[in-house]
Amino acid sequence: MRKRRVLRFLLIGGAAGFVVLAALFGIAWAMTPIPDSTQKDATAQGSVIYYRDGKTVIARQGVDRRNVELAKVPAHVREAVIAAENRSFYDDSGVSVKGTARALWSTVTGKQIQGGSTITQQLVRNYYSGLSQERSVIRKAKEIMISIKVDQSKSKDWVLEQYLNTIYFGRGANGVQAAARAYFGEDVDRLTVSEGAYLAAVIQQPSRFADPKGLDRQAVEARWRSVIQAMTQTGALTAAEAEAQRFPELKAAKKPFQLKGQAQYMLQQVTDELNRRGYTDEDINGGGLKIVTTFDKKLMEAAERAVKDTLPDATPKKIRTGLAAVDPATGEVVAFHGGSPDRSQYDNAFSAKVMAGSTFKPYTLAAALESGLGLSTRVNGNSPMRVAADPDHPIPNDGGRSYGQIDLVSAIRNSVNTAFVDLAQKVGPRKVAATAEAMGIPAEQLRPHVHAASFPLGVASVSAVQNASGFATFANAGVHMETHVIKSVTNADGAKDVVKPAATQAVSERAAADATYAMRQVVQYGTGTAARLYDRPVAGKTGTTDDSRAVWFTGFTPQLATAVNMFRDDNGTVSVPGYGVQFGGQLPAQVWRAFMTEAMEGKPVEQFPDPSGLAGPTGYDEPGDQDRDWSGETPSRQPEQWDERPTQEETQPPPTDDEPSAEPDPDENARQLQTPEEENGPPVDEAPEPEPTSGPADNSGARPSPFG
């Protein structure tokens, strides 16, 4: 009787416990939905950045994964994975009862966890968000319930496709397509039976079997044989087919993709432009983008050779050289040289902005021509010129030389400072600034200097890319094309976004042609003869700033505009042992010629348009007309006072480890009136070398602007 009561009590208790457990399971089942989001790393596809040919890789960003449809994965590869990981995949309910019980027992007892998860469970654990990787009974229970629900709501083929695109195979390869490329150098649809079996084998221990040697090699061969044998058991292979398989030859493991040389700077510029065009860093690192840049691999190499082969071995390490080449018709930056990434994160072509010097004079000339003046317009070339806004700081020409009343061709050929100050007075400094901005120089770089008398002489700082872009406008009949480094972006779904740069008629076709004619005289007879290309016409302008703190040559053919600058990262004088203090017509012009000679090789010879109103070779002052010193016969004229009072705007100091001084600078206005020295001037003694700074220097007058 007593035993019967105990038995009844146990039965009732057991039934009640079962009901409670069932109720709890029901509640847990209802409260554990399939997550509506996936783990970022599970679906992320890295982006690949190419040169302009769309084939040669510059860089890879993010996760190495390329998703493929299940239909593109050969049946023998799928069967190998199923045989290795979950033979009952097409028959089970998404979980393995035996495997799950074993895993739960191992978790509860704290013993080493053994395998037992189905393909569906592995997918759930690695694919959906909300499931941690901790080893706990609660997490395992959630995994089981979600796996069952996925099995009920998704097809087996969907599960297998996501699994094959998600799982990690070693060698940095995520997904079966990336694995096929990493281990065998071919796409997944070309894998053989033995190769597919190897990929299935490495899933178990991807790091160990990624590049197996010695005992690891023996272990992976044994694992591979077990997969082949399992495929006979599942019916995927016959005994004869299995016997015919041989262990596959593995492709040598590649080192992680490393950026070298200019590629680091290229990647930064591409990333910056993608961000400006609305692509987030997440899109770049995980969106599977195919990014085709404007960079030409051969021209990039030519730019590096031009700099390294032209500059003397004795060139001080503190001297930095930038080069940028822009296609006038498209605005594409086809090549650049940014220096050494090992020395500085700031490149010399895009980021470094230094005083433009006399390379800014063509913008002043363009503004004058656009305003209706002609090349025959006469301006005052005498020296010095006193400006009403600051009569205590007269503006001189190189060596104090006076030229008298000269036309605009002579003014730019001889780079006469006072002539361009006079010209800017006629046109108005705001017109000069507006023209330079329309041609590609950002307004924020012009605005702090527009009221300085020396503004038309190039006290504003520009980058090599910006200057090349501005001069490209002359070559493109006055139309400025938005500068860019990306040709197209194709997303993971195959949708292609082709970059369409903005086009602006910055100056008239006539003004561009006339300015180009004047700049041709600089190369033929003036300060830029070292830049001549003997098989085709060239137009350009030299530039040398005060104390040779920055020296330039910027020039163009009808097909390509290129800017070359040299400066010191401590803002000192650019001086090379054995070559002396540099001017724009020296090493910068030689680097320009070396690059353009190679860049133009094989290209058709195109001519510049004729200038307007040219009556013949004697239409303008000929070279030599200004050899006479006119300072004793034609008095220096003081330009008319501007109708706007000068206003001082602050500039941002360059990034350094030192705190900028909070003291106002009483001599700022005077320093704004310092003028660039010209290309043929006498060398100046090199000042003692300043202490190095942690950031890059700028040469924008006495108060440098930041590298941006």
**Active-site residue set:** 85, 358
Q: Which pair of tokens denotes residue 389?
A: 């806004």
Q: CB–CB of 412/361 below 8 Å? A: yes
User: Which run of H or E residues covers position 407?
Assistant: strand 405-407
Q: Which pair of tokens denotes residue 335?
A: 């090549």
Rg over alpha carbons for the chain, rounded to the nearest Å, is 36
Q: Choose among 328, 353, 265, 325: nearest CA to 554.
A: 325
> Helix, strand, or coil here: 543?
strand
Q: CB–CB of 575/581 below 8 Å? A: yes
Q: Which pair of tokens denotes residue 339?
A: 């220096």
655-689: b or e for each residue (b if 16 or more CB lie within 10 Å)?
eeeeeeeeeeeeeebebbbbbbbbbbbeeeeeeee
Q: How far apart are the first and last CA of the chain?
A: 94
Q: What is the DSSP string of 224-258?
A: HHHHHHHHHHTTSS-HHHHHH--PPPPPPPPPPP-
Q: Which pair of tokens denotes residue 644?
A: 């706007």
Q: Which pair of tokens denotes residue 51?
A: 């040169």
Q: What is the dihedral of CA 604, 608, 610, 611, to 10 degrees?
A: 180
Question: Which letter does DSSP use for residue 170 in this model?
Answer: S
Q: Choose among 379, 456, 389, 458: nearest CA to 424.
A: 456
Q: CB–CB of 501/331 below 8 Å? A: yes
Q: Choose among 524, 535, 529: nearest CA to 602.
A: 535
Cα distances from 162 to residues 68, 119, 145, in angstroms, run 9, 10, 19
User: Which run of H or E residues covers position 516?
Assistant: helix 509-524
Q: Choose among 426, 400, 397: nearest CA to 411.
A: 397
Within 13 Å of residue 360, how many CA atoms lie on the same side as its CB? 36
Q: Choose among 545, 542, 546, 521: nearest CA to 593.
A: 542
